[in-house]
Amino acid sequence: MAAYLHQIEEVFKLIVQSGILTLEFAGVCTIMITTAKSIWGCIKRDSHVRLTLAKGIALALEFKLGGEVLRTVIVREWSELAILGAIIVLRGALTFLIHWEIKTEEANLK
């Protein structure tokens, strides 16, 4: 019975790690695509470049925050959980600040 539970735990851990990797990959891809669009917008002198970049970074941070939250499922030690908690708080604060910047930029464009 213990071996069976251990196998289930390993499968669950593999599924969670796959989800984390997928979310992290989506965040990185979002940042790269947004950066390319923003560089192109700068070349074209688009007035909405800052807004486009801020929205892309906010979306990427949401993906990465999702990965960190998912990572809490497989944490084994309190020290790891403390580090993970600090990362989640920092990414949450960054997301909040970027959303504030988006609102400010949208208000300036009106």
**Whole-structure pTM value:** 0.81
Determine the pLDDT at residue 29: 97
Angle at 92 between CA 71 and CA 110, to 5 degrees: 140
10-residue block means of pLDDT along the chain (110 residues)?
84 94 96 96 89 92 90 84 87 89 84
Per the rule left: phi > 0, alpha: psi between -120 and 50, beta: everything else, 45 is left
Q: Does domain 2-109 have CATH number 1.20.58?
A: yes
Query: What is the domain partition of the chain in residue ranges?
Result: 2-109
Torsion over CA of 96, 73, 60 and 90, rounded to 10 degrees?
40
Determine the pLDDT at residue 30: 97
Determine the pLDDT at residue 56: 94
Determine the pLDDT at residue 17: 95
Q: Is 43 exposed, middle or buried (0-12, 13-18, 19+ CB in 10 A)?
A: exposed
Determine the pLDDT at residue 16: 93
CB-based contact 77:26 (threshold 8 Å): no
